[in-house]
Structure 1
Amino acid sequence: MASLATNSDEPLTPTGRLCVRPKLKHIIHCAVGFEKPLDVEAVKSAIQASVLLKHPRFCSILVHDRHGVEHWRKTSVNLDRHLIVIASPVSSSAANDDESAVNEYLADLSTGPELSTDKPLWEIHFLMAHRCVVFQVHHALADGTSLMSLLLSVFRKASDLKAAPTIAPLRRSTDDQRNRTVTAMAAAPLRKVGVLWDSLMFALKIVMRLFWVRDRKTAISGGDGVELWPRKIATARFCLEDMRIVKRAVGDATINDVLSGVISSGISKYLDHRTPKALQEGLQITGLTIVNLRKQPGLQEPSDLARNNPKLHWGNKFGGILLPIQYKKGGVDPLYHVRRIKVILERKKQCMEAHFAYKFGCNVMSYLGSKVAGVFSYRFFCNTSFLISNMVGPQEDVAIGDNPVTCIRVTSSSLPHALTMHMLSYAGRADMQVLVAKDIIPDPEFLAQCFEDALYEMKEAALDTVKPC
């Protein structure tokens, strides 16, 4: 039995405590593919030279105090205990390609055993036969933004192995969004009333979704206990330039707007294939979108992580917003989904729905405890139909040692959703891992193709209205 926490141990954040609840234990899996065969010693050297082993979260084990409250305790790290080398092929299916094999391995991890608590909550799996390294990190340590920032300290530019990867230019921060909202409200009293009304309605919808409101059952619906069901993964591939063409055609849209539109159109295509006569035109299907809430958006410089700058808020700093997509049969304007989603997301940004969701969760955790907060969060997942996140990765080709990275893909352990999607961009490309409960969605490859087809149709429609730069 682990020893009790002491005064020198650091308590987990409210979100971190939520991530270790029995039904919500959440693990992030980042698969990194390589061009050449793996050199385990070269990867070990890159890790030892990076910030990873210097960061306190990756050097701490999870302990509990006498009241059951979770804490972090600093410990020494034996790197070899965190490395798992698998020499033989991991796929049991007839498919021989590396992508299918790695996706099958990740699908098994998503419902696999928990990380051992007698060491820091992370592991690195070497799939030698498939030239792939899988970073497995508990969500209690950090969210995707922090973890990708940390992973950048392991990478080097493929064109200059001594140079660190480039950090993307900062987009508008949440502070900027808040300032623009305040300015607009001060300049237009009627808009102020509209923003306040939207804030009230969105907050009410979140609370209602916690207790009794849920989507009508469709061919992609999950529910209580689905997190334990076997999984499958397929990969949807996008070109960022295609997304930018659509973004310019819609006007003042963002990549997130385009991605959400692609999800809306792709799910409509899939449902039209699975149940063409069972659903009513315009049926609303509600998903959950994850939003980074840091004052400094985007990835963080590895040097800042080494200094553990408190302003950067290492750890979990994200909120969720409800994403209501609309089922549409074929024949609708491909850009309709993006235009509709853009209007909805702009209203949600102005009323700061993601911040409300984050504060609400923290207050429930602080005043009612992790058990009640865990029940609320689990019900929230059960009452929505899917989850989507979007992460930015390295802007140029990167390498570990002298081995170029061919792809970076992210997924996570299972939730009550039958459909979970995580997109990550890398060097002008974007791969979205489509994780499904295979007894509910038996054909994730077709679903992934629906998303790819949706973006292609949007790009073709956009090219008729705007000339790409």
Structure 2
Amino acid sequence: MGSPEIERDEPVTPAGRLFLRPEMDQVINCVIGAENPFDVDALKKEITNSMMLKHPRFCSLMVRDRHGREYWRKTEIDIDRHIIILNDSLDGDNDEDAVNGYLADLSVSSPLSTDKPLWEIHLLTAHKCAVVRIHHALGDGISLMSLLLACFRRSDCPDQLPTMGSSSQPKPRNSRRRNRLRELLNIAWFTLVFVVEFILRSLWVKDRKTTISGGAGVELWPRKLTTAKFLLDDMKTVKNAIPNGTINDVLFGVISAGLSRYLDHRAPNKLREGIQMTGVAMVNLRKQPGLQEMAELMQSKAGSRWGNKFGMLLLPVYYHKGLVGPLDYIKKAKTMIDRKKQSLEAYFSYKIGYFVMNFLGSKIACVLNYRIVCNTTFTISNVLGPGEEITIVGNPVTYIRANSTALPHAITMHMVSYAGRADLQILVAKDIIPDPKFLAKCFEEALLEMKEAAAEATSRS
């Protein structure tokens, strides 16, 4: 009779080790609003039996060997240690302000304890919401969103899991056959240009200083958090007015127009036309896992296929003094994004990071990543959530929003779409950007102006 198989500690992936560095220590905070107060016992039971807790990352401790190298070690889960219940009302003019204030505090002052698996759920019963905190070392945002949503069900079909949209757009086959040599030359050229820029950003090249610039040490400064709210139908109306436009084109057009509007308010007539403000975005390099595919990740050795596999993109937007039409912001953003799509910047940045982590160590990799953030202006992400309304333990979900631990940027933006809406969480260093609600209004008004311009353009055509 054979001896039972001994479970061995599994090494943390290179990207996971980077996120565990004290200088980075990234935690994703996902807040889920509900129509009714949560049934705590039912929620505990749902989570205990969920696919999430069948995944090895969510039932493993992060441990270090005598050389300081990080590993995952399987452990038993005590669900009561991971569910934190707060019954008292938080300070704020309304539920949204109170919850955003709580999240802002979490972003700079509340790391996850390493004596249990690196996740927890805060139930804010007075505000009918749950804050799911997951360390970035457990996986990238898209994979974690997919896994988290396995705890939910569709409102219209309570027996079915939610569906997640896809941001990919199939390319026409004819266009791929044409001008093959030109396409390859574009890939080579744009890859060379953007990879060189990426390397220079990690060394000394930086954005010009503005009133929204951060810098070294800003990740420790107190934060404010607010929410800009968009309708996906409005974004689609604008997208359809631009040939081959995408939601990401619209988002970056809104960011460019909104930041220009905000800078005009904060520093009128003090900035040069066309000044560049560079955003940092993480790009998933794997196929987005649908909920129906999550079972594959529960198989033996699935952990080796999990983790963080993403590249970094530098995405510039530009300040304009009101001389640019609303749709021109999107056209400029589209030109930039299309060039990025034609490059292999994300793959090269992943390979560069992998090389540095493996051969130079996590400390050097962290220094280089930290410098990239210090030399740019903002962080941006966009995650597609469920297209339909969903429930958890029978409780209808009213919103899904996400943000993360503070970075040296003074402004960090995370957009999540849900059931026809898109909420952009704007986390700012409040000593640099004291009025984030006005900034959110700049973004919202920029989209409405673009919608009006799109309607006019459609009526003329």
Structure 1 length-normalised TM: 0.92
2:225 aligned residue: 233
Residues 30-45 of structure 1: matches in 2 within 5 Å? 30-45=30-45
Residues 3-14 of structure 1: matches in 2 within 5 Å? 8-14=8-14
CA contact (8 A) 1:170 1:298 kept: no
CA contact (8 A) 2:139 2:308 kept: yes
CA contact (8 A) 2:166 2:384 kept: no
Give 1:450 shift: 0.6
Candidates 84, 104, 122, aligned match of 1:125: 122
Matched residue type, 2:387: Q
105-114 or 301-310, which moves further after superposition? 301-310
Candidates 155, 158, 176, aligned match of 2:155: 158
Partner SS state of residue 261, structure 2: helix
**1: CA distance between counterparts of 2:158 and 2:302?**
30
Candidates 207, 215, 234, aligned match of 2:199: 207
335-344 or 21-30, which moves further after superposition? 335-344
1:309-356 deviations in whole A, cap 9, x for unaligned? 959943212211111111001242101111111111111111121111
Matched residue type, 1:117: T
The total of aligned residue pairs comes to 454
**2: CA distance between counterparts of 1:413 and 1:325?**
23
- Unpaired runs of 5+ in structure 2? 1-5
Candidates 307, 310, 331, aligned match of 1:339: 331
**2: CA distance between counterparts of 1:311 and 1:67?**
23
2:57 aligned residue: 57
Give 1:193 shift: 3.0
Structure 2 length-normalised TM: 0.94
Matched residue type, 2:90: V
CA contact (8 A) 1:215 1:385 kept: yes
2:76 aligned residue: 76
1:465 matched to 2:457? The reply is yes
Give 1:463 shift: 1.0
CA contact (8 A) 1:237 1:432 kept: yes
1:285-309 deviations in whole A, cap 9, x for unaligned? 1111221211x23644344444479
1:116 matched to 2:108? The reply is no
CA contact (8 A) 1:38 1:131 kept: yes
Give 1:284 shift: 1.0
Give 1:159 shift: 2.3
Residues 207-286 of structure 1: matches in 2 within 5 Å? 207-286=199-278
CA contact (8 A) 2:279 2:379 kept: yes
Matched residue type, 1:315: G
**1: CA distance between counterparts of 2:444 and 2:319?**
17
2:288 aligned residue: 297
Overall identity of the aligned pairs, in %: 53
1:104 aligned residue: 101
Give 1:188 shift: 4.3
**1: CA distance between counterparts of 2:166 and 2:67?**
45
1:137 aligned residue: 134
Partner SS state of residue 207, structure 1: helix
CA contact (8 A) 1:219 1:275 kept: yes
1:230-259 deviations in whole A, cap 9, x for unaligned? 000000001111111111111111111111
2:347 aligned residue: 355
Partner SS state of residue 432, structure 1: strand
1:90 matched to 2:82? The reply is no
- Unpaired runs of 5+ in structure 1? 1-5
Structure-2 change in CA distance of 1:149 and 1:190 (3 Å)? closer
398-407 or 190-199, which moves further after superposition? 190-199
Give 1:170 shift: 6.7
1:167 aligned residue: 164
1:429 matched to 2:421? The reply is yes
**1: CA distance between counterparts of 2:206 and 2:233?**
36
